[in-house]
Amino acid sequence: MDSSKRNDPRIVRTRRSLLDALLEIAEEKDFADITISELTERAGINRKTFYLHYRDKNALLDEALDSLLGELMEASRRFIETHGPLDPAVPPPAIRWLLDHLAERPALYRRLLGPNGVSHFAMRLQSLYYEKFLELWGDLGYTAVTGSPPVEFRATFASAATQRIAAWWLLNDRNEAPEEIATWLWQLIHPLWFEMGAVRGNEQKSPT
């Protein structure tokens, strides 16, 4: 579909209706079990209209995941753009905002991140946080001294921990508030920035 048609208000409304229908039904059942008939009925359109916009259910799913990931990463983008300082005692806003967002639709994200979820969603979420770690690391002028974990290693650890802790929190129906989970997570991750051979600028010191 070319960009002029994609921006047509009627097309935008139809696609939005289908995206919303998919995400609503996904709170009730696994993605693999959702049918196109259910989607079109919930969206209030006919089956023929569905195929005018998407080749199949997976194409709609990919667009829905893009939309969700965009929402999840908006807070991180704002934090990166403002070059906010990092404080060893205070979790970065991006971590708290991520958990707040997940808490708004826990049933949906349990489906996505659970054992029967969409595996590439979890991987893409982890990949996005990996990229943001590297971006923030560079923007704030950090380097890793020789003999300490390289930045790619740190980013892999931090992004995997963030994704897995978020899933653990949702799947185990924990009672802790987002700010408490963010604080615990930051207690584990902040040494990557303030210890373990991480320095600002060209300063060098022995890794701890």
Q: Which residue ranges form the domains of the chain, and what is each CATH number?
A: 1-54 (1.10.10.60), 62-200 (1.10.357.10)
- The number of beta carbons lying within 10 Å of the beta carbon of residue 180 is 14
How many other β-carbons are positioned within 10 Å of the β-carbon of residue 88?
A: 11
pTM: 0.79
Dihedral angle computed from the Cα positions of residues 195, 200, 204 and 208, in that order, rounded to the nearest 10 degrees: 0
Burial class (CB in 10 A: 0-12, 13-18, 19+), 133: buried
Q: Which amino acid, one-letter code, is at 178?
A: P
Q: Which two tokens stand for residue 53?
A: 């916009």
Within 8 A by CB and 6+ apart from 42, the residues are: 21, 24, 25
43-53 as b/e, with b when 16 or more CB fall inside 10 Å? bebeeeebeeb
What is the pLDDT tens value at each position of the chain, 208 positions in all? Answer: 555 456 677 888 999 999 999 999 988 888 888 999 999 999 999 999 999 999 998 899 889 888 888 877 776 666 666 656 788 888 888 888 889 888 988 998 988 888 877 777 888 889 988 988 898 888 888 999 999 999 999 999 999 999 999 999 999 988 899 999 999 999 999 999 888 888 886 555 544 5
